[in-house]
Amino acid sequence: MPTLREVPAEAVIASHRLLLRSGMIRKLGNGLFTYLPLGLRSFRKVEAIIREEMNASGALEFKPSVVVPGEIWRESGRWETMGAGMLRVVNRVDQELVVSPTAEEAFTALLRSEISSYKQLPINVYQINTKYRDEVRPRYGLMRAREFTMKDAYSFHTDDASLDETYQEMGRAYRRIFRRCGLSVIPVRADSGAMGGTGSEEFMVESEIGDNNLILCPSCGYAANDEKAGCAPDPLTSGPGSAPATVPYAEIATPAVRTIDELCAFLKTTSKAFIKTLIYRAINCELDISGAPGAASLKRVQPESAAPYYPEAFFAVCIRGDLDVNEVKLAAALKASEVELASDSDVERITGAPVGFAGPVGLSSVPVVADLSVMAMHDSVTGALKADAHFEHVEPLRDFTPFLSADVRTVVAGDKCASCGATYYAKKGNELGHIFKLGYKYTRSMGMNYLDENGKQQTPTMGCYGIGVDRTLASIIEENHDDDGIQWPMSVAPFQVCIVPIKYEGAMKEAADSLYNELSAKGVEVLLDDRDERPGVKFKDMDLIGIPLRVVVGDKNLPNVEVKKRGEKDASLMPQAEAAKALVTMVSEALAALRAV
């Protein structure tokens, strides 16, 4: 129990600081951590809660290897598209291997050799296993480490109705898991990302350092990650850009004017009248753009069983001048593994103009993608594809036709709810769990089939359900702590009760040992602090560690003992003979409250 008095300089969030200070984890390398005994006890409790609820839902636990053959990732097509975050290795016989960042391929490969008939479906299988993702910037301790533990479940079905039934059951199981862990989660609609699929829901916890921005409606309860959130259209009804242009578009001189703000000042108008055009580079794009402008010469790769893709393609993305492009939405629309703004040299090569003068009118070197906001615009201003010039009176569809129109805007607080029209507000959050309807993405590409009731070969549809165990543990601390340390919920505390004798000798030792044995016999997890330390040090350590119930045994109070709940100021005295029964009741009531609906 190597507690620390000083706050480690590397730890900037509460959970990281407290896990290190309380002696629960230690850093072994950048993004690599070791659980010490106290931390491992709480980790195992989170793991046990997840396992209990998964088993109760009917899921079956497997234990695949962490290192898997690279050939199954080639079958799915993700060997080429997963990116640098996937750790690839080659063994002594030149076999390509993957240190699993996720397990869709492993479970699909495993079950395709086991499932042959519709009578074996549906089936839901899961693992609680180690993963590795080569994070560019691991940070925040267990929140974003390179090696971590996840629970992954994968379900296989004969039809969408069966998939939806399991998807909903997993959502209910997740709510039970997080409730039992003492967490307040916000379920939100989400993007499926590199996993693919359609239906998707994330389970978030509010956090000041959250990686995710949550868009929430105070009226109808709509909740979504801003990577997925949509909003009600907001067409202009008055002012510049609100009425169709009655004259052809025309070039205007805009010397040394490149940014939207500079244009607003120069033309004495608002950013809502401008069509902002950004050139993006898409990586591993599966969208068929074979008939699009500028795409004829692009290299298109056709894997053996996966969808064809373009390793690199460029697009001109148009959006109203006061809005921002959401790159996750854009990647989803282009079916790309990732997108990034093109380099200045690529922008100049594609547009024939310096950066800042791109526009869709007359652009034939790349496909144009227009946000839905652009399609509602009139009498707009755009870059003219030449230095120091813009076009005015531009009308979408009259003066340019996009190859693709899609919702690629970033929704922000203040936008209107797509469901009820109320005004959104926003919170920061961290993702703890994510459930997907994957559909046929992996079963088709990897050749998983079964025979239906008519003896015909069919492909199963698939679901995926993940929870980060380490991140859940860290989030419990983020939500449950004070200035003195952790305040563990009873269900996941390393111990439920700690006994602190003022001195571990004489009558105090006898009373402490007796109470320890009595509580242990009743199934209570109890820690006896028998260290030769000053009482103040012991009290500070127990508050730091966060054990929910503390019993102080002092010679001045015997035969009474002092019982105090973590987080409460006042303690109570009770006879030692009655303490065990009272503590058992407190433990059981706290556990029952966490299980309550």
- Can you tell me the mean pLDDT for 98-124? 96
How far apart CA 279 and CA 273 sit, in angstroms, is: 20
Give per-residue pLDDT as tens, 261-295: 888 888 888 899 999 999 999 998 999 999 899 88
The pLDDT value recorded for residue 226 is: 87
The pLDDT value recorded for residue 115 is: 97
The conformation of residue 410, written as its DSSP 8-state character, comes to P
Q: How far is CA 474 from the centre of its chain?
A: 14
Q: Which amino acid is at 376?
A: A
Q: Which of 263, 260, 241 is nearest to 377 (CA)?
A: 241
Give per-residue pLDDT as tens, 489-507: 999 999 999 999 999 999 9
The average confidence (pLDDT) of the chain is 92
- Can you tell me the mean pLDDT for 396-422? 94
For residue 378, what are the contacts with CB-CB under 8 A and spacing of at least 6? 236, 241, 242, 243, 244, 245, 395
Is the confidence at residue 177, as pLDDT, over 90? Answer: yes
pLDDT band at 197 (very low <50, low <70, confident <90, very high): very low
- Interior CA angle at 17 toward 13 and 20, to 5°? 145
Identify whether the C-beta of residue 204 lies closer than 8 Å to the C-beta of residue 432.
yes
Give per-residue pLDDT as tens, 6-19: 888 888 899 999 99
The pLDDT value recorded for residue 284 is: 87
Neighbour-count burial of 567, counting CB atoms closer than 10 A to its CB (0-12 exposed, 13-18 middle, 19+ buried): middle
Q: How far is CA 440 from the centre of its chain?
A: 22
Domains in the chain: ranges and CATH: 39-64+102-229+426-477 (3.30.930.10), 250-406 (3.90.960.10), 495-595 (3.40.50.800)
How far apart CA 191 and CA 226 sit, in angstroms, is: 9
- Can you tell me the mean pLDDT for 207-222? 86
Give per-residue pLDDT as tens, 348-407: 999 999 999 999 999 999 999 999 999 999 999 999 999 999 999 999 999 999 999 999
Q: Sign of the C-alpha dihedral, residues 11, 16, 17, 21? A: negative
- Interior CA angle at 556 toward 550 and 560, to 5°? 55
Q: What does the block give as tokens for 462?
A: 């698939």
pLDDT band at 260 (very low <50, low <70, confident <90, very high): confident
Is the confidence at residue 180, as pLDDT, over 80? Answer: yes
pLDDT band at 190 (very low <50, low <70, confident <90, very high): low
Strands 275-285 and 310-320: what pairing?
A: antiparallel
The pLDDT value recorded for residue 191 is: 55
The pLDDT value recorded for residue 305 is: 59
The conformation of residue 293, written as its DSSP 8-state character, comes to T
Q: Which of 364, 289, 275 is nearest to 318 (CA)?
A: 275
